[in-house]
Amino acid sequence: MRAVPSLLVALVALVAALAPAGAAAAPASQDRITIDTWSKGVFGYVESKQPQVCSAQRLVTVYEQTGEKRDPGVDRRVGSNRAKKTAAGYQWSLRHTGVGAFYAATAARGDCPGAISRTFSKLPGRVNDPRLCNPNSGPGWCRLNWPKPLHFETERCRSFTRSSGDCDTGEPGGDANYPFADYFGSDLHGELQWWTADDLRHVRYFTHTGADNVGIAHIAGTLPGPGSDRFTVTDAYAQRSNVYGDGPHFETPIVAGAGVGEMGGPLGFNFDASTKIVFGTEDIYMWGWLYRK
């Protein structure tokens, strides 16, 4: 018998000790840890109904599962990090884990119960995965466009240095091809809008078919300023049927240490007006990875 009890056993014992004698079983805690992969390691979120108390700066430890069951008492400890607030939630991340079967755990803290994640198998070779983000994308990572960046060609556009503006497609020949899969080859148009609030440049790009101007997909988020290439996507959407709302949503989690256009980092963004002479075209490029919410 091992001398050190597993974290799972300790958590169960703690809950049992705090329960009043004869009382009905309390509902399961809503606190949880998620885990997934990115190109340089693993990351996830500490979720709680009281995030400022139970999620902020919560110490998360990653283990490599060596047996049939998760057991922090015997599994190899990979490393630890604290959950920090991001636009998507209280995120933790760990670099240089290599490949293997990993899970994350956190001990109880005050009135916040301990939690343990699912086991996630991190495999090699995912960085070059060519899957494109589209209305049928499954959970996890996908590329916005590959191998070339998404290219939106537009006319009659205000300078991006202005605090707000709107670009339409001009001629429908612009390559406004997000979502790629279900609408490629149709009469697809795009539009780019931006405005400034809270010292950030807010950007929304959406596509629609024909002249009906009914959106079928969008990419929305923020840039630190008009000259930045770091596009943090807070919500992207790809419509799956004729009903708006039926389809997956995406974001860029912004994992610490991930670069522009890399898995885990912001999308790359380039507003190129170099071809414009009084009347001409602007070219907007976006590239990188999105993560399905």
Interatomic CA distance for residues 33 and 11, integer angstroms: 15
Helix (H) or strand (E) holding 11: helix 7-18
40, 97 in Cβ contact below 8 A? no
Interatomic CA distance for residues 277 and 17, integer angstroms: 75
What does the CA dihedral 182, 262, 119, 250 come to, rounded to 10 degrees?
Answer: -40
Architecture of domain 7-20+30-123: Sandwich (2.60)
83: nearest Cα among 53, 113, 110: 53
Helix (H) or strand (E) holding 183: helix 180-183
* Per-residue confidence in pLDDT tens, the chain, 293 aa: 334 444 333 433 433 333 333 333 333 446 899 999 888 889 999 999 999 999 999 999 999 999 999 999 999 999 999 999 988 899 999 988 888 999 999 999 999 999 999 998 877 655 556 688 888 888 889 988 878 888 888 877 888 999 999 887 654 445 555 664 455 456 677 889 999 999 999 999 988 776 565 668 899 999 999 999 999 999 999 888 777 788 899 999 999 889 999 999 999 999 987 666 555 678 889 999 999 98
207, 215 in Cβ contact below 8 A? yes
Query: What phi-psi label fits residue 198: left (phi over 0), alpha (psi between -120 and 50 degrees) or beta?
Result: left
The confidence score (pLDDT) of residue 138 equals: 86
Domain ranges of the chain: 7-20+30-123, 127-292
- Residue 27: cis peptide before it, omega within 30 degrees of 0: no
The confidence score (pLDDT) of residue 22 equals: 36
